[in-house]
Amino acid sequence: MEEGKKKAIMVTITVVCLAVAGIIFYTQQAGSGNKGIEGLSDEKMVWVLCRNPDCETSYQMGMKTFFKTVEERQEPMSMQVPALICDKCGEASVYRAAKCEKCGLVFEWGTMGAQEFADRCPDCGYSGIEEGRKKRRSGE
């Protein structure tokens, strides 16, 4: 076979292999990539708490619904999480909360400050996140 034909065949094979590799890589990234809010489920629940002093109700809502509602209510230039509308009182005064696994108190997520775990209970000091990390470090 001529040297020119061999070179053309090798280049063609290389290009086809690169194209196939690119297609495989792209489909794997698209299939397993971060789907954002659409990748969440309403089967997993989050606690929310109304800050309205006349209401102060707490309840659970689906995680996907929570984050979709936050996204819809978010002001483009704001760095703060917007308040959601309370199911009970109708006011824009609902924020993400946590329920203490130890004492059962429902409290606003992240109330203990930036240097603490967001789920640290203001009453008893328990944090499920912290306990989970301790267990993973100890190999349990």
Helix, strand, coil percentages, rounded to 5, for the chain? 40, 15, 45
| The pLDDT of residue 111 | 79
Based on the structure, what is the number of domains in the chain?
A: 2
Same domain, 113 and 130: yes
Say yes or no: 7 and 68 in one domain.
Answer: no
Per-residue pLDDT of the chain (140 residues; tens, 9 = 90+): 677 777 777 767 765 555 555 566 555 555 555 577 888 888 999 999 999 999 999 999 998 999 999 999 988 888 888 999 999 999 999 999 999 999 999 999 887 777 788 999 999 999 999 999 999 998 86
Cβ proximity of 130 and 100 under 8 Å: no
Q: Which domain holds residue 89?
A: 37-138
- The H-or-E segment that residue 26 falls in is helix 3-32
105 and 43 in a single domain? The answer is yes
User: What is the per-residue pLDDT for 68?
Assistant: 92
The two three-digit tokens of residue 48, written as one number: 């929310």
* Residues 57 and 10 reside in one and the same domain: no
Residues 44 and 26 in one domain: no
Q: What pLDDT shows up at residue 139?
A: 80
